[in-house]
Structure 1
Amino acid sequence: MTTGIALFDTALGTCAIAWRAAGIVGVQLPEGSPESTRQRLEHCFPDAVEHQPPAPVQQAIDGIREHLGGALDDLRWIDLDFEGVPEFDCNVYDITRAIDPGTTLTYGDIAAELGKPGAAQAVGQALGRNPLPVVIPCHRVLAAGGQVGGFSAGGGTLTKRELLALEHTPGFDDPVLF
């Protein structure tokens, strides 16, 4: 099955999206350049071909663009394709997708919700493999004690903090002075 990709501009920079017939399979947050963004997504989807997005994908692009521009949207209406994604990861993504903008859970909270209270590290690993950042808002998942934890998208934890601030998340929406 062919994977389509497209780049699109947002308030954070150039993002990319990948899709198949069943739904969105990947989102790439901005890297150092639009070409780097494209290459990182193509690395994940080697069969990808750049196409004009069909209407549902364009709607997803518009939603992501608006969200990153400050018009907060939970983006739960976007159809996703999890073919080939392990069941544990899908379960983690389902819980993560239900976290509203401006709120957070910890890796341990998600593990407990899965009925696996000792699996916080496995939850973190699943989120590190998240192919759909922002749509599956892994930036809303923190380490124990409210620590930022990791973030595998371009810009790392700085981008995670920027997304949390954009969503007016308590403790992250204050201006950074230093």
Structure 2
Amino acid sequence: MDSGWCLFDTAIGPCGIAWGEQALVGVQLPEGSAAATRACMRRRFPRLPECAAPARVAAIVARVQRWLEGGHDAMLDVALDMSAVPEFHQRVYQVTRAIAPGHTLSYGEVAARIGEPGAARAVGQALGRNPFAPIVPCHRVLAARTGAGGFSADGGVATKLRLLEIERAQLGSEPGLFD
């Protein structure tokens, strides 16, 4: 069977990755401990076995590990299975994936780029349901004029800011914003 999931160690804690025959079906940021991350992966992927990653997935794991140690890798070539992802979310994720490491956009800017000005809250909700963090780098989307905004991963906004720090994102001219 060429599908499954596994945990892997990173500089920020144990992450999870799930794959199918053609693409990744999910990525999971740390949940505080390996046991908590494993439990989350079992809930998210109850039909997939926990097993060793095949070489094609192990190569992606290595890239994520390097990125979480400070390497810049946009991972745009990593195939993601979005067949279960709503179309609006797919559009949000496409724009979000295009944000270069160390750079950010606001929720409103993402909404405008998908042709839905005024849909900043819906963008935030889509990012809160991101099944591919950090490969879909939702941490690079911030609230306009009010700072970081929310973050649904374990640790909340502190984790979001840590990911931006790893990428060496620069503070913008407005307090609480990054360029």
TM-score range, shorter chain: over 0.9
Q: Quote the residue 2:38 is aligned against.
A: 38
Q: What is the RMSD computed on CA atoms of the aligned residues?
A: 1.5
Q: Quote the residue 2:121 is aligned against.
A: 121
When the two structures are superposed, what TM-score results if normalisation uses the length of structure 2? 0.92
Q: Alignment partner of 1:13: what SS?
A: coil
Q: Alignment partner of 2:165: what SS?
A: helix
User: In structure 2, what residue type is equivalent to 1:161?
Assistant: L
Gaps of 5+ in 2: 173-179
Q: Is the 8 A contact 1:12 1:68 kept in 2?
A: yes
How do 1:75-154 residues align onto structure 2 when only pairs under 5 Å count?
A: 75-145=75-145, 147-154=147-154
CA distance in 1, matches of 2:77, 2:146: 28
Q: Quote the residue 2:177 is aligned against.
A: none
Going by fraction, where is strand more abundant, 1 or 2? 1
Give 4+ residue runs of structure 1 displaced > 3 Å after superposition. none
Q: Alignment partner of 1:102: what SS?
A: coil
Q: Quote the residue 1:10 is aligned against.
A: 10
Q: Quote the residue 2:162 is aligned against.
A: 162
Q: CA deviation at 1:107?
A: 0.6
When the two structures are superposed, what TM-score results if normalisation uses the length of structure 1? 0.92
CA distance in 2, matches of 1:153, 1:48: 22
Q: CA deviation at 1:48?
A: 2.1
CA distance in 2, matches of 1:23, 1:93: 16
Q: Aligned pair 1:58/2:58, yes or no?
A: yes
CA distance in 1, matches of 2:67, 2:57: 15
Q: Quote the residue 2:67 is aligned against.
A: 67
User: In structure 1, what residue type is equivalent to 2:111?
Assistant: A
Q: Aligned pair 1:20/2:20, yes or no?
A: yes
- Offset from partner CA, 1:79-115 (integer Å, 9 cap, x none): 1111111110001000000000010001100111111
Q: Is the 8 A contact 1:3 1:45 kept in 2?
A: no
Q: CA deviation at 1:46?
A: 1.7
- Offset from partner CA, 1:36-73 (integer Å, 9 cap, x none): 00111221222121111112111110100000011121
Q: CA deviation at 1:75?
A: 1.2
Q: Alignment partner of 2:49: what SS?
A: strand
Q: CA deviation at 1:3?
A: 4.5
Change in Cα spacing, 1:165 to 1:146, as seen in structure 2 (3 Å) is farther
CA distance in 2, matches of 1:160, 1:109: 18
Q: Is the 8 A contact 1:3 1:47 kept in 2?
A: no
Q: CA deviation at 1:22?
A: 1.8
Number of residues of Structure 1 aligned to a counterpart in Structure 2: 172
